[in-house]
Chains A and B, each alone.
Chain A
């Protein structure tokens, strides 16, 4: 068995003439939270979009459990156990919590041709999930997403990843626009996810948030990996900030 859940090797990505990623090689181990840091435009979103099937790498390979994986669409990624949680965009605001949780994987009850969703099962699972990720049962699962706060939306998105037992949960800036208490909840969800056996990639603007939860930090700069094994317990925030911005003048 491979020691890493996911490994990306020699990944490059061009958007037309713009090179967003240059020969990136990076991995995520089992039950590990990796913090992906880098300045604006460093290529973080592009890298995780390749993993989640939103865009395709120009060259390079992806391995899951040590086996080569072919991720061409978001559906491929989800089928391979990779869930991506973007701020807000992952949910349909007009639909209920329950309908969002099961979107694309609705359980069918009875005669298949009738295509009827198993509402009872869905509602029951939704209730249990909301409790599991720490949302009070005061929120009926029939509530529309548009009536939830930002933190609650993240909670629903994470609940979905947990329910479908995604092996890798990717969070791109999940704490943007959240209050203090809600940020803490989201970071807690991430920790819970790791403790129950999932691996995570966390991208966050706020370095302090990343430092609170991750096991390892990877830093991108101008589309290349400049550090891939920073231990947040042994490194200062200032030092990581220096790695992110890079040397001002010379130096490699």
Chain B
């Protein structure tokens, strides 16, 4: 359809472009958006309470905590890598911080900083194995998933950690303080989630770093040839993902007043599901933060909706799996569509 002009003299062939509607529809965020709207209206119709401020507030609590992991994971996956260790880092960080604090060795603030640094170290280790030793991130982070979970269990001997009442702590208020807006009660984590989404969207869409992230996953060979530091780009993303997973785990432990060495188990798959449902290519190179935000809400509001209409919580995964299959099929179809048009 697109033509070089140098070709032959004479009238140029008529240029056929995809219709405006089709171009709009083939934006990667459209599928997820439609899905979310359908889902909210369906559950809202069956159970009007579903859309009540009370329920929305409840859903948001945990949604934004998982979302805080899904956001950096999006960038990592666009750069062509996975992180399966985020669920373990989530659980480990909370118990590490509370163990440090409970032992009396550090203040809560210092424990928080040390924990974030340790999480950053885990990210560095992931990134180092992937970029320097050149092992697939799937295998590397499967390894750290086990090591970090094992460390959390060993550190606590398998017991939940005492979490001290958060009242009065500045750190707790900043991370997980409660706010009332009208009839909604939300936590500070919502604010941090929004900040993270805006910043990471900006990074991906507007900055040089964003260009590098997409190039690193799209065609690492040519990115390297252009002087893009693919290794360092991925390294930074592994560190960022691990640190936000830690922040999420800590925030969650303050909100629920529980630090359990097993918490976060299985989150890695739910997070990857959110990112994929949001339209990020599993093969890297393509994806958006807006899509992931939609993917986050699709999965968590579905969870709440299913519980409210009386579907057993254990059946949740059936629906997650079905939606992943549907979205992946939709993406594949749009891709083929675009190829044919292009």
Contact = CB atoms under 8 A, between A and B. Distances in A.
B167 interface: no
A74 B224 contact: yes
Contacts, number: 114
B215 interface: yes
Interface stretch (B177-185, B205-213, B238-246, B297-305): B205-213
Contacts of A184: 6-7
Interface string B244-286: 0000000000000000000000000000000000000100011
B219 A138 contact: no
A2 interface: no
Interface stretch (A31-39, A149-157, A229-237, A243-251): A149-157
Contacts of B321: none
A213 interface: no
B154 to A, nearest CB: 41
A51 B219 CA distance: 21
Interface in A49-69: 52, 54
Contact of B225 (A90, A134, A148, A151): A90
A135 interface: yes
B228 interface: yes
Contact of B338 (A84, A103, A147, A151): A147
B342 A185 contact: no
B227 to A, nearest CB: 4
B323 interface: no
Given A92-B218, A147-B342, A185-B7, A74 B227 contact: yes
Interface in B45-64: none
Given A90-B222, A104-B226, A104-B227, A139 B2 contact: yes
A148 B224 CA distance: 22
Contacts of B225: 52, 54, 74, 78, 84, 90
A185 B222 contact: no
A83 to B, nearest CB: 10
B141 to A, nearest CB: 24
Interface stretch (A7-15, A108-116, A196-204): A108-116
A18 interface: no
Nearest to A74: B225
Nearest to A77: B225
16 contacts: A74-B224, A74-B226, A75-B227, A84-B225, A89-B219, A92-B218, A92-B223, A94-B219, A95-B218, A103-B211, A117-B206, A119-B206, A134-B4, A139-B2, A149-B4, A185-B7
Closest 4 CB pairs between A and B? A147-B342, A104-B226, A75-B227, A92-B218
Interface of B: 2-8, 12, 15, 203, 206-209, 211-212, 214-215, 218-219, 221-228, 281, 285-286, 338-339, 341-342
